């Protein structure tokens, strides 16, 4: 238990150190850019900055003096208005005490009552004006105090900057300080982007793009069922028989040995309808072996002479059957002498599965024939049987691991089951859901399901 925890801690510490290193490099790069942007030398630039700081400080001090005077005047006026408001409040209170009452208003002197009402009205107007003036002065005092505090802060910053400029004797320290003051947001952005950027991107792809792509229609090259091919044993070396009247086209490096009585020739291409495709996938200048004798089968041993760990499998396609496989994995083809291979190309440009997998072309090989399939990793053949059409059998497979499949199978991209395994780059974003009745051939891939450069170039064309 201690070893995984220690590995995790070491990994996090290494990532944190790398994030700090990259952020520091970004900061240094920005400092160098500032240095290049300055046309004057360091001393001249520092003198210019000191002069600018002194000018800004003088300007801010003048503004601070003006604002302080206005604020002090407003404060004094506010105190005066508050005193006046107290006096007006006392006057209104005394007037209310002198109110003659309802009976006196009916029986008393009308002129005295009119004079009393006028005094009350003037007192109310004075109270309203005083309260309005107090509110305006309070607002003016608050704005003045805020402005004074902001100007004081700026003056403190300018004093600090001037002190640094006068004591700073090295250009590197000067530009690094300027870069930090102006580009600290860049530092933090690079730091957190390196630490958590991939998690954010992975979450967007996993919960956004992957869900959207999984809603697309599956790739199915043929609606009707065809005769199912038979995938033979997968091995590093295969012994196979050529029956009388059969011929074999095979790439040179995949022949380990062959019966000496077989007629040997050179076949430039499997067929002449698409020579550029065969040249691109390396299926040119093939060895043709013919069993033209009628006294029994002849043995041929297949193995990859350049890579002893590459596995091979023979896929037998019966009459009326077919198998879809990338041509780059087909190392040999066995068929009757005089029978031309039937290969059909399918294109699926408007399918989500094609855009997700990066493969838009598919090569379908028709039987009767036998295909020798090989790749540089472990091969495995799978068979699906779905007697009930309403509940077809389905299996998950690695998206990049499917080498070949029956054309009636439906291939649908689905999101990988674990987000954290994808976030840790242990699995690809998409798996392939194979549904229906048929057979398919898979290969082992690395954790991310990546192909080599040549395979990546040929894969979109189904080669």
Residues 402, 407, 409, 415, Cα dihedral to 10°: 40
pLDDT at 270 exceeding the cut of 80: no
Count of other CB atoms within 10 angstroms of residue 289 = 23
CATH number for the domain whose boundaries are 2-195? 1.10.287.2610
d(CA 297, CA 292): 10
Sheet holding 286-290, edge to edge: 230-231, 311-317, 369-375, 330-336, 246-250, 286-290, 263-267
Four-residue CA torsion sign, 197, 200, 206, 212? negative
The mean predicted confidence, pLDDT, of the chain is 76
Higher pLDDT: 412 or 12? It is 412
Residues 121, 126, 130: CA angle, nearest 5 degrees: 150
- Is residue 353 within 8 A of residue 216, CB to CB? The reply is yes
Query: Which residue is listed with tokens 């250009």?
Result: 171
Task: Report which of 61, 59, 64, 58 is spatially closest to residue 144, judged by C-alpha positions.
Answer: 64
- Would you state the pLDDT for residue 12? 72
What's the CA gap between 394 and 384, in Å, rounded? 7
Check if CATH label 3.65.10.10 holds for domain 230-461.
no
Give the pLDDT mean for 184-202: 76
Give the pLDDT of residue 1. Answer: 41
> Cβ(50)–Cβ(166) under 8 Å?
yes
In contact, 348 and 354? CB cutoff 8 Å: yes
Query: What value, to the nearest 5°, has the Cα angle with vertex 165 and ends 161 and 169?
Result: 150
Distance (Å, whole) CA 163 – CA 456: 60
With 0-12 CB in 10 A as exposed, 13-18 as middle and 19+ as buried, what is 161? buried
**pLDDT band at residue 330 under the 50/70/90 scheme:** confident
- The pLDDT confidence band at residue 447, using thresholds 50, 70 and 90, is very low
Domain ranges of the chain: 2-195, 230-461
Residue 194 has pLDDT above 70, yes or no: yes
User: Largest Cα–Cα distance of the chain, in whole Å?
Assistant: 151
At 253 the pLDDT is: 83
Q: Is the pLDDT of residue 239 over 80?
A: yes
pLDDT band at 158 (very low <50, low <70, confident <90, very high): confident
Those residues whose C-beta lies under 8 Å from the C-beta of residue 286, and which sit 6 or more positions away, are 249, 250, 251, 252, 266, 267, 268, 269, 270
Predicted pLDDT of residue 448:
40
pTM of the model: 0.61
Please tell me the distance from the alpha carbon of residue 136 to that of residue 423, in angstroms, as a whole number.
59
- β-partners of residue 241 are 299
C-alpha 366/C-alpha 321 separation (Å) is 6
> Is the bond preceding residue 368 a cis peptide, omega within 30 degrees?
yes
């Amino acid at each position: 238990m201690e070893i995984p925890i220690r590995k995790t801690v070491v990994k996090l510490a290494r990532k944190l150190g790398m994030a700090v290193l990259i952020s520091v490099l970004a900061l240094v790069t920005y400092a160098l850019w500032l240095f290049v942007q300055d046309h004057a030398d360091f001393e001249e630039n520092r003198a210019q900055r000191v002069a600018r700081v002194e000018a800004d400080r003088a300007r801010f001090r003048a503004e601070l003096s003006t604002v302080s005077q206005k604020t002090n005047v407003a404060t004094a006026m506010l105190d005066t208005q508050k005193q006046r408001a107290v006096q007006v409040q006392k006057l209104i209170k005394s007037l209310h005490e002198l109110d003659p009452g309802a009976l006196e208003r009916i029986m008393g002197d009308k002129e005295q009552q009119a004079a009393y009402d006028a005094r009350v009205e003037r007192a109310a107007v004075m109270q309203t004006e005083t309260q309005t003036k107090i509110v305006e002065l309070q607002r003016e005092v608050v704005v003045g105090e805020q402005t004074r505090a902001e100007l004081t802060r700026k003056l403190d910053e300018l004093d600090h900057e001037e002190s640094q400029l006068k004591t700073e004797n090295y250009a590197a320290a000067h530009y690094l300080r300027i870069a930090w003051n102006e580009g600290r947001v860049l530092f933090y952005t690079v730091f957190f982007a390196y630490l958590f950027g991939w998690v954010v991107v992975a979450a967007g792809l996993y919960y956004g793009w992957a869900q959207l792509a999984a809603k697309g229609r599956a790739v199915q090259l043929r609606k009707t069922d065809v005769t199912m091919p038979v995938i033979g044993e997968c091995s590093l070396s295969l012994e196979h028989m050529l029956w009388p009247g059969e011929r074999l086209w095979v790439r040179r490096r995949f022949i380990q040995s062959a019966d000496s009585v077989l007629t040997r020739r050179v076949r430039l291409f499997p067929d002449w309808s698409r020579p550029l495709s065969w040249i691109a996938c390396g299926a040119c200048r093939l060895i043709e072996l013919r069993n033209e004798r009628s006294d029994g089968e002849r043995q041929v041993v297949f193995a990859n002479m350049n890579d002893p760990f590459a596995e091979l499998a023979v896929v037998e396609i019966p009459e009326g059957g077919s198998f879809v496989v990338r041509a780059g994995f087909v190392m040999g083809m066995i068929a009757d002498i005089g029978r031309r291979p039937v290969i059909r190309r399918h294109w699926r440009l408007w399918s989500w599965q094609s855009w997700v997998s990066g493969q838009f072309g598919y090569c379908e090989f028709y039987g009767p024939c036998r295909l020798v399939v090989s790749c540089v990793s472990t091969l495995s053949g799978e068979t699906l049987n779905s007697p009930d059409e309403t509940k077809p059998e389905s299996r998950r497979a690695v998206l990049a691991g499917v080498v070949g499949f029956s054309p009636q199978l439906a291939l649908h991209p689905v999101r990988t089951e674990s987000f954290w395994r994808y976030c840790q780059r242990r699995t690809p974003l998409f798996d392939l859901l194979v549904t229906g009745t048929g057979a398919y051939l898979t290969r082992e891939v690395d954790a991310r399901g990546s192909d080599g450069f040549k395979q990546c170039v040929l894969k979109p064309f189904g080669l």
